[in-house]
Amino acid sequence: MEIEKVIKSLNINHDIETFELSDVTKRVGNKLYYKNIPSALLYLNHLSLFNEEIIDDGFKVKGTMIDLSRNAVFKLDYFKSVILRQALLGFNEIWLYLEDVYELEDYVKFGYLRGKYTLKDIQELDTYAQSVGVNLVPCIQTLGHMSQFLRWPSSYPFRDQADVLIISDETYKFIQAMLDFCKEAFSTTKIHVGMDETFGFSFGQYYKQHGYTNPEDLFLNHLNQVYQKAKNTGFNEICIWSDMFFRHRSKTEYYYDTTISFEDEFINKIPKDVTLVYWDYYNHKAEVYDLMIKNHQKMNRKVIMASGTWIWTKLAYDREKTLKTATHAINESLKNKVSEIIFTQWNDDGAYCDYETSFLGLVDVTNVMVGNQINPNYLSKINCYEQHKLEVVTKINQLGFDPIMLLWDDILLGIYMNNLVGYNDSLIDPLIENANVVIKEIEAVNYPHFKNLLSYLKNKLELRKILLSGYFKTKNFDEAHNILKAARVNLMESLKSFEENWLRRNKPFGLEVLQNRIYSQLRRLDMYEEIIKSYHDGYVIDFLEEKLSQEPWLSVKYADLSVSSKGSIV
């Protein structure tokens, strides 16, 4: 049997004599009933290592979605290690989020200088995934999120808005090329065709060419066109992000608008066997998930839940944010008999999170399903970092400040710091103390990347405090000079580990974004020093003469925190 070959190849010891496919994974005597190979791998490997059984997680599909489109494109060897370790954690499906990072021969600028995968690359990954029982699924875009391709002048004929494709014969030819690639590259007959967050759809070039068309009607027509093309190409299950169905009905384009309803006339326009993917990694209330799942099910289509293990807009996996959201997604899915759940791992704004920390997230969400049965030593046994080490590192997300916002915040402008503490330097003291506590814990578990990063963030807090205190109170900045020296060292050590991690795991494309963001901070540290050196009584530091008001929230994106002018910047 295939499962016995996989178990033998991984050197998993067991005393099972017979294996039988079932709806649940459980042992009865010397017989193992299993629903898929990864669920059996988790059960047997855990039993072999610790003599501890794990109950069934309750889902037919427990998978992840890996974002490969925000600069970091995994090297094949590293990707294979990710696939294997996820399989050993019981994950039997991985969606590859591919905006433009796969090769379409007739569209040269599609994935240009972005580290795109070739047909052979995907086939190699797919073959490996099959060997450990994991189903790889293409998760592409066929309407929105196409800005990387649409940025090029030669791509303008495909452009409605900066991020959205125009409806045209040439666009459908382009989409057919995407589908043809996916069919040849992947062995699965399941595909996700995207279509989320298509804001402004039909109001760009399409409007200029054709005038007003009801965007909901146009969206539904496009869905049917893509659905039929996918069917004709050989795909049996076509998935779509569901948010635009709800946004079109909401006066504020809000996905989670609980007042929305769908009449039969609308529902009948949706292909009958299309799969709706309800994504939610934000809401903290179980009743929202329950209501949203029920609203999806009223459309009489298959529903998949997409939660998330929070690594996007983070330097390290965020356990607290994940558990506050994913726990409800898991429990309400099980309650409402949603049998497939995917945990997204987005990489918004540059893929700067250490991906290895994401494995703690996979343990966390699995423990929600199985009642905390995974042994704390299991991760280290499957070639991941020790669980305790990762648990220390995730504390970087609970320090009273946002690490990535502070990292991108300009040392002089202080867009983030102004919103966090204003000009009150005393409010910075507890933040520095929080950082000191966690730095010591990170040193104790020997994770230099995060020790250097957090030390640099602490330096930025200290420098902000000195700047505010010196300008508004003491008129003295002497303490800043040694801290500036330390900040430069910690910043460059952080860049070094960013580079080493990136080049070990990812193709080289996209690293230049982080390099540019970090190197530019060196010059801003120099300018900080020049300003305090030239300070004298009566000297005006223009950055500190602005009147402040607090925004309800700030964008976490580098472009919105690092410069005072709104514009396009890496």
Residues of the chain where predicted confidence (pLDDT) is lower than 50: none
Sketch out the chain's domains with CATH numbers.
2-384 (3.20.20.80), 399-561 (1.20.120.670)
What pLDDT is stored for residue 247 in this prediction? 96
Cα maximum dimension of the chain: 85
Position 568 scores a pLDDT of: 59
Provide the pLDDT for residue 392: 99
**132, HSE (Cβ side, Cα atoms, 13 Å):** 27
Core vs surface per residue 128-149: b (16+ CB within 10 A) or e: bbebbbbbbbbbbbbbbbbebb
Q: What is the predicted pLDDT for the residue at 259?
A: 87
The residue with tokens 């109170």 is 473
Q: Which tens digits make up the pLDDT trace of 264-275?
A: 999 999 999 999
d(CA 227, CA 236): 10
Written as one string, the DSSP assignment of 392-438 is HHGGGG-SSS-HHHHHHS-TTT-HHHHHHHTT-GGGGHHHHHHHHHH
164: three-class secondary structure by DSSP:
strand
Instruction: State the SS3 of 95-146.
Output: EEECCCCECCCCCCCCCCCCCCECHHHHHHHHHHHHHCCCEEEEECCCCCCC
Query: Closest Cα to residue 245, out of 275, 271, 266?
Result: 266
pLDDT of residue 570: 57
